[in-house]
Chains A and B, each alone.
Chain A
Amino acid sequence: MNASVAQPVTTDTQGMNYLVSVPRRIVTVWLPLTAFLIVLLFPFYWMAITTFKPNEELLSREGNPFWVQHPTFAHIHKLLFETAYPDWLWNTVLVSVVSTFLSIVCSVLAAYAIERLRFRGSRYVGMSIFLAYLVPPSILFIPLATIIYKLDLFDTRLALILTYPTFLIPFCTWLLMGYFKSIPLELEECALIDGANRWQILVRIVLPLAVPGLISAGIFAFTLSWNEFIYALTFVSSSEVKTVPVGVVTELVEGDVYHWGSLMAGALFGSLPVAILYSFFVEYYVSGLTGAVKE
């Protein structure tokens, strides 16, 4: 510890870090952190590099596999023009946007009713919403499939739009309840005295103040529905109705010959939209994730 550098303790946020020497910090912090980042990001790098590799390079053990010698757009071309990939992308966007919107509308109303209207039994409704959040889709998909079939919704986008809210609404409601709780009750009382009704209070006072919560819930719900797999795999069978994750897994794999280039291109382009959207709203996403766990 004799090599400790004299760092000016300008802010309190630095804590007691000035006590730790630079070489020690490199070994205990930066080395493991770099290892974590390499492992966590490598599959994405591999996805991207495979997308642009010609087949000769993919199926050869010679040369440096970590780089592309002769980049090609053949895999992307095949994906976009010889498969139903654009359809799947459109379906995923449509299903995710509509089911997210539907869930947010339902959740706002439910969360406001539970948190602010305080009707008789609202505590129990809040508890059961939390329990609903713990029910995993993999124990629901079989009975849901029979219900979807009976409602004549099998193999339609509507089947997914109506079933995704079962895991989106509990999450969003729970998150929004926390946000509504933080809005001072006095604001609502003032509005009530000024003659506003409940609907006006919700739309003009509560919702504008809960915008960060709405964004958190929205971005989280969108990524959850974009990632959904088991319902989309079970309730849909025609190629033109499939979503990206299901389409890539079920249709791009033909027999024993794996077209790794176009498979990786499909995975890359299915991941990019949600990753880009996430990058714009990281803070909201993280606060949604941690908020829901902390409550």
Chain B
Amino acid sequence: MATFINRLQDNRNALGLLFLAPTAVLLVLFLTYPLGLGTWLGFTDSKIGRGGAFIGLENYEFLWGDSVTRLALFNTIFYTVVASVIKFGLGLWLALLLNKHLPFKAFLRAIVLLPFIVPTALSAIAFWWIYDSQFSIISWALQRMGLINGYIDFLGDPWNARFSTIAANIWRGVPFVAITLLAGLQTISPSYYEAASLDGASPSQQFRYVTLPLLTPIIAVVMTFSVLFTFTDFQLIYVLTRGGPLNATHLMATLSFQRAIPGGSLGEGAAIATAMVPFLIAAILFSYFGLQRRAWQQGGKDT
């Protein structure tokens, strides 16, 4: 037995497999297998409590003609695009502000990240209360300032609800973008800025020709993650609106949950979830290759 263990210790391949075994078992059973099973379920008419039969593309044909699914697809893209663009803009701005040699820098950075570490479901409940149609603090403040006459129905009107949920998503996402971009900014050597200002570059030119090109690789990665989180968002919508009013805020993830778990149509839900995959792959490839190549063209490091 002892010699067997010794021999195992000497063999990299055998030892490597042994070390990988726990991870492999967990990930294959609860990640790879469900990924395949989900794709398969999308081609069946499975319901909760009974296995389904293979029905080919019927789920997808049905969903393509289903107005609610189309609306959810539109909502998801709208939600992702608007929220991601604003998160990037505000996040970059906040990162630039935090990079300005402030007193209490570490403390400021710590509290800025708070919205990101607190459970989203719980902060969404706080937003639910802030958006309350009768006692909203925002409406109260705006009315006192004389800007509005009646209380705003934040979550009851389709477009109000869309923008309210997007605002809550931005609130949660900006800290992530800002802190990761700040880490990127801190790797840029101050000597570049000194050289640029000696050459007469204005602050905006320094930003355009020094900061942005050097930051592009990390922007690509951060925004890939941000788009991924936003596109597959579930908690925020589930807590704030459950997809309402009139399905105006349903995202693909919340619709797939609603059809599969309370609705019982596992096959249909799985088909909606699987339909998100091509969009995710496209988003990843676009931001990865699109931004990565620009970094290379501008002399950034090829990572």
Contact = CB atoms under 8 A, between A and B. Distances in A.
Interface of A: 12-17, 29, 32-33, 36-37, 39-41, 43-44, 46-47, 50, 58-59, 61, 65, 105-107, 109-110, 112-114, 117-120, 122, 125, 129, 132, 134-147, 162-163, 165-166, 169-170, 173, 197-199, 223, 226-227, 229-230, 233-234, 244-246, 248-249, 258, 260, 263-264, 266-267, 270-271, 274-275, 278-279, 282-283, 285-286, 289-290, 293-294
B228 A136 contact: yes
B49 to A, nearest CB: 9
Contact of A15 (B35, B193, B257): B193
Contact of B123 (A143, A223, A271): A271
Contact of B273 (A120, A142, A286): A142
A174 B193 CA distance: 33
B117 A275 contact: yes
Contacts of B109: 282, 286
Interface string B226-263: 00110011110011000000000000010011001100
A282 B179 CA distance: 12
Nearest to B175: A40
A130 to B, nearest CB: 11
B256 A294 contact: no
Contacts of A15: 101, 190, 193-194
Nearest to A263: B125
Contacts of A258: 129, 132
B122 A139 contact: no
B74 interface: no
Given A109-B20, A227-B120, A145 B33 contact: no
Given A140-B34, A230-B253, 8 more contacts: A40-B114, A120-B13, A134-B284, A136-B232, A165-B30, A227-B117, A271-B118, A271-B119
A29 B276 CA distance: 40
Interface stretch (B55-63, B80-88, B92-100): B92-100
A29 B97 CA distance: 6
B190 to A, nearest CB: 5
Nearest to B46: A146
Nearest to A125: B20
B38 A279 contact: no
Contact of A267 (B17, B31, B97, B126): B126
A75 to B, nearest CB: 13
Given A106-B22, A109-B22, A32 B97 contact: yes
A220 to B, nearest CB: 9
A46 B129 contact: yes
A242 B30 CA distance: 20
Interface string B164-180: 00000001001110011
Contacts of B12: 117-119
B303 to A, nearest CB: 9
Contact of B179 (A109, A173, A290): A290
Among B108, B111, B120, B132, max chain A CB count under 10 A is at B111
Contact of A244 (B6, B27, B120, B122): B122
B23 A294 contact: no
Contacts of A244: 119, 122
23 contacts: A12-B190, A17-B101, A33-B102, A46-B137, A107-B23, A114-B20, A119-B17, A120-B16, A136-B232, A146-B46, A147-B34, A166-B27, A197-B6, A227-B117, A229-B238, A248-B125, A249-B238, A260-B129, A278-B114, A278-B117, A289-B113, A293-B222, A294-B184
A144 B115 contact: no
Nearest to A118: B12
A249 B194 contact: no
Contacts of A132: 27, 31-32
Contact of B122 (A59, A117, A223, A270): A270
Contacts of B32: 132
B260 A142 contact: yes
B270 interface: yes
B130 interface: yes
Contacts of A197: 6, 9
Contact of B121 (A117, A147, A173, A229): A229
B123 A43 contact: yes
B23 A135 contact: no
